Chain A
Amino acid sequence: MDFQIALILGQDGITNGAIYALLALALVLVFAVTRVIFIPQGEFVAYGALTLAMIGNNVFPATAWLLLGAGVAVAALDGLGALRAGQARKLPRVLAVNVGYPLAVIALLRLLPLAELGLAVQILLAMLVVVPLGPMMYRIVYQPIAEATVLVLLIVSVASHVAMVGLGLLFFGAEGYRTPPLSDARFDLGSLSISGQTIWVVAASIVLIVALALFFGRTIYGKALRATAINRNGARLMGIPPALAGKLTFLLAALIGVLSGVLISPITTIYYDSGFLIGLKGFVAAIIGGLASYPLAAFGAVLVGLLESFSSFWASAYKEVLVFTLIIPVLVWRSLTSHHVEEEE
């Protein structure tokens, strides 16, 4: 291995690492606020990428039907709840948000000449379809059991993941897709050639991380999410509803997932089940951050990306094994350095 190969591998590693960093941040965020280990995070990557691929191929994305179905389910749950509480005046809003919105998106997808739109518009459409699935999923799956133990929530996450992979096969078929790169430019720095896509990925990740930091540091809703993560009871007493915090968190997680999918799909072919492995690598990074530290998780993500690309050069058959083996020393190190804290009742 010479210096040039190392540079190429390093570039690959950092590109993937930037995407894993986004996913790791989403996983840390979801766990901190809702105590859910969000295994379906990766499915949002695949759904985002494949929905974009469908739109690019001028095919109506079947995920829009899922959006409608989930919307109807949420409307039924929220509507019945409002009726039982004697708040029938809330019904029109519940219906407009949960059923009206998906119908509008479906109409938009039917009417627009999908393949002729610019890539940016196509990405926007894919986001309009997939991102709302995040909060809807929280409402249907997690909100009714929000007080359950971490283990129960984890098992429910596994179930949601399996269901979403199955639906993915139904929606997109077994074929894999690649979407066009966001930029075809190439920059030559001496012997190193950097693709425009790499710059896009790294820049978009940095912008998103900074935007998240500003959201959590400056806005009252961001502070409310942090407060919920720090002290659930205290947040409730301030009138911050746990359900609102949960939905907001899942909205951010879905947004991050879809953007990661858009960023990664020009680099790797995405299949209906590719999301799991990508999400799991984000999870390894999140574990390095102890599911609590954002900077450590981001650092871990770059480490995972680099380890992956270098091990694919030396021992490509073992590349996944090597990445996931990283968890063992990390867990040993964490269990030696951190004190066990009893979970608050």
Chain B
Amino acid sequence: MATNNRADRPVLKVEGLCVSYGKVEALTDASITVGEGQIVTVIGPNGAGKTTMLSAIMGLLPSRGRIEFDSVAMVAPEVETMVASGMNLVPEKRELFGEMSVEDNLVLGAFQRYRMGLRDHAQTMEEIFTLFPRLRERRTQMAGTLSGGERQMLAVGRALMAKPKLLMLDEPSLGLAPLITREIFRIVTQLRSRGVSILLVEQNARAALQVADYAYVLETGGVAMEGPASELAGDRRVIDAYLGVGGKHQEMLAT
């Protein structure tokens, strides 16, 4: 199935992606496209294969299918090569270095760039601190002692230290208070204006559709629907299955 997201310059183009855990196929023939400077969201229920899809694109899981990143076909992608070519994943579990300071966590975000001889991490860190002033206050604190929202900020900040072309966020609102979620989504939109393309996986469909340009609905391992986010937000089936009634307060929080 080809995707209909007609982005001018696609950063990421995935075609016919299949992932299986043993004999169980978790993702079947999924195709998505993320255009340059776009926010693309993938929504869907638990177990639809959203996290699996991100892990496969990142090279954490073996997969079949075609992954084209920045116009280069990635054959059997390795995590390090993906990071080196400008892709970064903020996983659902954040995977911070809990017993290290906020500053060290950020520095390590630039490890791949440092290894390639690009030693500008001090300057990048200043930009991150401007984006998340809270992290500057906490710079010497251990990452494990941060609050949930701060941890998410640190995870995003750490990923941004690599100056990615494409940032993949897995459930950034998971376990966060609504106000913090709103803050995170505000920053996501801010990132787009800086030219970072974003692939956003979310269960909080309402908030995700608010900020995204294009959306895919993933159900039982396959793309069930797709379209511009504003259209999907008005689609009867999406409203019934993912937005529901009484979600009005979330809509207000997401603005």
Residues of B within 8 A of A231 (CB): 95-98
Pick from A86, A230, A233, A238: contact of B111, CB under 8 Å: A238
B87 to chain A, nearest CB (A): 10
* Cβ-based interface call for A236 (8 A): yes
Q: How large is the interface on B (under 10, 10 to 19, 20 to 34, 35 or more residues)?
A: 20 to 34
Interface residues of A in 234-282 (CB under 8 A from B): 234-241
Contact status B91-A224, CB under 8 Å: no
Q: How many residue pairs, one in A and one in B, have C-beta atoms under 8 Å apart?
A: 68
Pick from A86, A220, A230, A240: contact of B100, CB under 8 Å: A230
Binary CB contact string for chain B from 160 to 195 against chain A (1 if under 8 A, 0 otherwise): 001000000000000000000000000000000000
Interface residues of B in 102-122 (CB under 8 A from A): 104, 107-109, 111-112, 114-115
Instruction: Report the Cα distance A86→B89, complex, angstroms.
Output: 26
**Best-buried of A220, A234, A236, A241 by chain B (most CB within 10 Å):** A234
B119 to chain A, nearest CB (A): 9
- A220-B114, A223-B104, A233-B91 are known contacts. Are A238 and B109 too (CB-CB below 8 A)? yes
Contact status B97-A220, CB under 8 Å: no
Binary CB contact string for chain A from 109 to 130 against chain B (1 if under 8 A, 0 otherwise): 0000000000000000000000
- A220-B107, A220-B108 are known contacts. Are A237 and B79 too (CB-CB below 8 A)? yes
Which partner residue on chain B sits nearest A234 by CB separation? B95
* Cβ-based interface call for B83 (8 A): yes
- A233-B91, A237-B58 are known contacts. Are A223 and B100 too (CB-CB below 8 A)? yes
Contact status A240-B95, CB under 8 Å: no
* Interface of chain A, main secondary structure: helix
Instruction: Report the Cα distance A238→B106, complex, angstroms.
Output: 10
A175 to chain B, nearest CB (A): 46
A-B contact pairs, 20 of them (CB 8 A): A85-B76, A220-B108, A223-B100, A223-B104, A224-B111, A226-B100, A227-B100, A227-B108, A230-B100, A233-B91, A234-B96, A236-B60, A237-B88, A237-B89, A237-B91, A237-B95, A238-B162, A239-B79, A239-B83, A239-B112
A24 to chain B, nearest CB (A): 20
Contact status A238-B98, CB under 8 Å: no
Which partner residue on chain B sits nearest A236 by CB separation? B79
Give the B-binding residues of A (Cβ under 8 A): 85-86, 220, 223-224, 226-227, 230-231, 233-241
* Cβ-based interface call for B80 (8 A): yes
* Cβ-based interface call for B253 (8 A): no
Contact status B111-A226, CB under 8 Å: no
Contact status B95-A233, CB under 8 Å: yes
Residues of A within 8 A of B95 (CB): 231, 233-234, 237
Residues of B within 8 A of A226 (CB): 97, 100
B89 to chain A, nearest CB (A): 6
* Cβ-based interface call for B84 (8 A): yes
Which partner residue on chain A sits nearest B105 by CB separation? A227
* Cβ-based interface call for B158 (8 A): yes
Instruction: Report the Cα distance A227→B95, complex, angstroms.
Output: 10
Residues of A within 8 A of B79 (CB): 236-237, 239, 241
Binary CB contact string for chain B from 29 to 59 against chain A (1 if under 8 A, 0 otherwise): 0000000000000000000000000000010
Which partner residue on chain B sits nearest A228 by CB separation? B97
- A220-B108, A220-B114, A223-B104 are known contacts. Are A239 and B99 too (CB-CB below 8 A)? no
Instruction: Report the Cα distance A224→B158, complex, angstroms.
Output: 13
Instruction: Report the Cα distance A339→B115, complex, angstroms.
Output: 38
Interface residues of B in 96-153 (CB under 8 A from A): 96-100, 104, 107-109, 111-112, 114-115
Residues of A within 8 A of B58 (CB): 237
Contact status A227-B60, CB under 8 Å: no
- A220-B114, A223-B104, A223-B108 are known contacts. Are A241 and B97 too (CB-CB below 8 A)? no
Instruction: Report the Cα distance A5→B80, complex, angstroms.
Output: 58
A276 to chain B, nearest CB (A): 33
- A220-B107, A224-B111, A233-B91 are known contacts. Are A241 and B80 too (CB-CB below 8 A)? yes
Contact status A227-B97, CB under 8 Å: yes
Which partner residue on chain A sits nearest B91 by CB separation? A237
Residues of B within 8 A of A85 (CB): 76
- A220-B114, A233-B91 are known contacts. Are A240 and B99 too (CB-CB below 8 A)? no
Contact status B80-A239, CB under 8 Å: yes
Interface residues of B in 60-93 (CB under 8 A from A): 60, 75-76, 79-80, 83-84, 88-89, 91, 93
Contact status B91-A238, CB under 8 Å: no
Which partner residue on chain B sits nearest A220 by CB separation? B114
A165 to chain B, nearest CB (A): 36
Residues of B within 8 A of A224 (CB): 108, 111
Which partner residue on chain A sits nearest B76 by CB separation? A85
- A223-B107, A233-B91 are known contacts. Are A238 and B158 too (CB-CB below 8 A)? yes
